[in-house]
Amino acid sequence: MVACSQCRSTVPRSDTVFSNQGDLLCSRCGAFDAAHAQVERGRAAAYESAGRNRGALGLIIGAVERAAADKQAGQLHSELLGVAYSGAGPQAQSATVPCSRCQTVVLRGETTLSMEGDPMCRSCAAGYDPVAEQKRLEGSLIVGILMGAFLPIIGIGLAYGLKRKPAEKKGAVGGTVFIFVLLYFCWPLLLGK
Ligand SMILES: [Zn+2]
Ligand SMILES: [Zn+2]
C-alpha cells in the first residue's frame, strides 16, 4: 500500500499512476491530473493559433485571443477543482456515445470525430463535408467587421463574451481598429479645420 501524494489516501500500488511531475497519485487524483493537463494542452493550442496572426492587427488579435484562452483555462481548472472537492470523479468514458448529429447511440469505437471533436456515427460521418464544416466553424469575417465597426469595443466584448465564431472575433477587432483609425484621421475634417 502507498499514499497518494495529493489526497493522502492509501491505495494499492497497482491503483496508482505518476503525474507529469513524477508524483505518485491514486487513480482518482490521476484522472483529475490528466484532465488538468488536457486543459493546459487546450491553452497551448489556443496560444499557438493566436501566434499565427500576422501584422500589427495580428498582435492585437493575438493578445485578445491569449487573454480569452487564459480566462477559459482558468475557468476549466476551477471547475475541475470544484468537482474534485465535491467528491465526484471526472466523467468516466462510457463505451457507447450518442452521435452528435442524429443522436443515435453507437459504440464509441465506431465513431469518427468531427472537427469540433464531437463523435459522429458512420452514416453521418459519410455525409460529413469538412470544407463546409470549416466555413461554418470559422464564421463570417464580414459579420465580425460590422459588429466591430458599428459597436467599437462593445462589438469585441460581444464577440468574445458570447463565444462567437473565430472569424467574427477577428472581424470585430478589425472593425473596431478600423473605426478608430478612421476617427483619428478624420477628426480634423469633422471639426471643420
Ligand atoms: Zn489521491
Ligand atoms: Zn449520426
Per-residue pLDDT tens over the stretch 48-66? 888 888 887 888 888 888 9
Ligand nearest to the CA of 105: 2
pLDDT of residue 91 exceeding 70, the answer is no
Distance 140 CA to ligand 2 centre (A): 27
pTM of the full structure: 0.47
Scan for cell 477577428, then name that residue: 170
**Cα of 46 from ligand 2 centre, angstroms:** 29
- Using pLDDT thresholds of 50, 70 and 90, give the confidence band for residue 151: very high
Ligand nearest to C-alpha 3: 1
Grouping H, G, I as helix, E, B as strand and the rest as coil, residue 78 is helix
Domain ranges of the chain: 1-90, 93-134, 139-193
Q: Per-residue pLDDT averaged across 150-162, rounded?
A: 90
| DSSP assignments along 122-188, one per residue | HHHHHT--HHHHHHHHH--HHHHHHHHHHSTTHHHHHHHHTT--HHHHHHHHHHHHHHHHHHHHHHH
What CATH class has 93-134? Answer: alpha beta
DSSP state of 117: S
